[in-house]
Chains A and B, each alone.
Chain A
Amino acid sequence: MSAATQPRQTLTRDAWTRMASEASPSLLALWADTREVYALLSDGDTPLLVSTEVEDGGYPALSPARPAAAWFERMVRDLWGHTAIGGTDQRPWLNHGRWPHSAPMALRPGPPGAAETPEFPFSEELDQLPLGPVRGGIEPAAHLRLGIRGETVMRLEARLGYTHKGTLALMRGKSPRAAARFAARLAGEATVAHSIAFARATEAVLGCEVPPRALALRDVMAELERIACHLDVLSAMAEIAGLEIQVTRTAWHGEAVRRAANIAFGHRLMMDCIIPGGVAADIAPGGGEAIGRALSGLAAERLHPPAAGMAEARTCGRIAEIDGSVRRIHDLLGALPEGAVSVSLPVASGEGIGFAKGPGGDIWHWLRLDHGQIASVFMCDPAWVRLPELEATVSGAQVDDLPLILAAFGLSSSGADL
Chain B
Amino acid sequence: MNLWRRLARTLLDGPVAGAPPPADTDTAASLASRLDAGGQPMLGRSLAILHLDAGSCGGCEIELRAVRRAVYDLERFGVSFVATPRHADVLLVTGPVTRNLIEAVEQAHAAMPEPKFVVAVGDCAVDGGVFKGSYAIIGGVGTTLPVDLLISGCPSTPERILTGLRALLAANARSRRSVSSR
Contact = CB atoms under 8 A, between A and B. Distances in A.
Interface string B43-87: 000000011111111111111111011111000000001111100
A254 B66 contact: yes
B108 A170 contact: no
Interface of A: 94, 96, 98-101, 104, 133-141, 161-167, 169-170, 181-182, 185-189, 191, 232, 235-236, 247-248, 251-252, 254-255, 258, 268-269, 271, 412, 414-415
A269 B62 contact: yes
A96 B81 CA distance: 29
Contact of A161 (B58, B71, B100, B108): B100
Given A101-B135, A137-B81, A170-B131, 19 more contacts: A99-B135, A100-B135, A134-B104, A134-B108, A136-B50, A137-B51, A138-B68, A141-B55, A162-B98, A165-B98, A188-B60, A191-B59, A247-B69, A248-B16, A251-B69, A252-B71, A255-B69, A269-B155, A271-B59
Interface residues on B, range: 35 or more
B13 to A, nearest CB: 11
A166 B134 contact: yes
B14 interface: no
A140 B58 contact: yes
A-B pairs with lowest CB-CB distance, top 4: A136-B83, A188-B59, A188-B58, A251-B69
A166 B128 CA distance: 12
B100 A166 contact: no
Contact of B98 (A100, A164, A251): A164
A254 B81 CA distance: 21
Contacts of A94: 100
B112 to A, nearest CB: 12
A138 B64 contact: yes
A251 B70 contact: yes
B95 interface: yes
B101 interface: yes
Query: DSSP class of B's interface residues: helix, strand, loop or mixed?
Result: mixed
Contact of A140 (B61, B71, B135): B61
A135 B81 CA distance: 12
Interface in B95-146: 95-96, 98-104, 108, 130-131, 133-137
A186 B69 contact: no
Contacts of B51: 136-139
Contacts of A167: 131, 134
A169 B133 CA distance: 10
Contacts of A182: 130
B69 A141 contact: no
A163 B56 contact: yes
A141 B53 CA distance: 6
Contact of A141 (B65, B66, B104, B134): B104
A380 B134 CA distance: 20
B26 to A, nearest CB: 26
B55 A185 contact: no
A235 B69 CA distance: 9
B100 A189 contact: no
A176 to B, nearest CB: 15
A418 to B, nearest CB: 9
A187 B58 contact: yes
B154 interface: yes
A268 to B, nearest CB: 7
Nearest to B85: A134
B136 A136 contact: no
A169 B59 contact: no
